[in-house]
Amino acid sequence: MATSAVTAASPQYTISELAREFDLTTRAIRFYEDCGLLSPERSGPNGRNRIYTARDRTRLKLTLRGKRLGLSLAEIKELVDMYESPRDTVPQLKKFLVVLAAHREQLEQQLADLQVTLEEVSSHEREARRLLGESERKKRA
């Protein structure tokens, strides 16, 4: 992976390498940087080249995991920042459980709403089939 700028102690990645590894656009990675989720070092003329560390790679991986769970970027940032803090993990885990419980509640409500919508669709399908059957019977008669 870290092909262009690797040190023995800590791997480094270019934006293109991370984009390829995580199947993202470089713009998405820059967006996460703008949100404060990533903080690459800069090199080259006017600091135009971004150099991502193993820490940035881990933060990106956690960000994508949070997105798959449906968390907001603000929630992800808070959790990722807590993940890196050297303090006791008990408060971090409690906060994570609170966030997950709220998200679960939201998903369960969405699921209930979808069930209602699916029942309505099924009802309309049954009615349409009934009307179609009546229409076809009248044509044959």
- Count of domains forming the chain: 2
Q: What is the pLDDT of residue 85?
A: 72
pTM, two decimals, is 0.67
CATH number of the domain where residue 12 is located: 1.10.1660.10
Q: Are residues 8 and 60 in the same domain?
A: yes
Last residue of a domain, one of 69, 100, 125: 69
Q: Mean of the pLDDT values across residues 43-70? A: 91
**Bridge partner residues of 42 (DSSP):** 50
Q: What is the pLDDT of residue 6?
A: 45
Q: Beta 41-43 vs 12-13: how paired, if at all? A: unpaired
* Residue 75 placed within a domain: no
Q: Are residues 49 and 105 in the same domain?
A: no
pLDDT > 80? residue 20: yes
Q: What is the pLDDT of residue 130?
A: 95
Q: Are residues 104 and 141 in the same domain?
A: yes
Q: Are residues 117 and 63 in the same domain?
A: no
Q: What is the pLDDT of residue 131?
A: 95
Q: Are residues 65 and 98 in the same domain?
A: no
Q: Mean of the pLDDT values across residues 44-56? A: 89
Query: Which domain range does residue 46 map to?
Result: 1-69
Q: What is the C-alpha to C-alpha distance for residues 18 and 16, in angstroms, rounded to an integer? A: 5
Express each pLDDT in 87-105 by its tens digit. 667 877 888 889 889 989 9
Q: Are residues 107 and 63 in the same domain?
A: no
Q: How confident is the model at residue 33 (pLDDT cuts 50, 70, 90)?
A: very high
Q: Are residues 7 and 53 in the same domain?
A: yes
Q: Are residues 33 and 64 in the same domain?
A: yes
Q: Are residues 32 and 56 in the same domain?
A: yes
- SS3 for 38? coil
> Which of 17, 18, 70, 59 lies closest to 35 in space, CA to CA?
59
Q: What is the C-alpha to C-alpha distance for residues 21 and 66, in angstroms, rounded to an integer? A: 17
pLDDT > 50? residue 121: yes
> Which of 90, 69, 38, 29 lies closest to 82 in space, CA to CA?
90
Q: Are residues 58 and 19 in the same domain?
A: yes
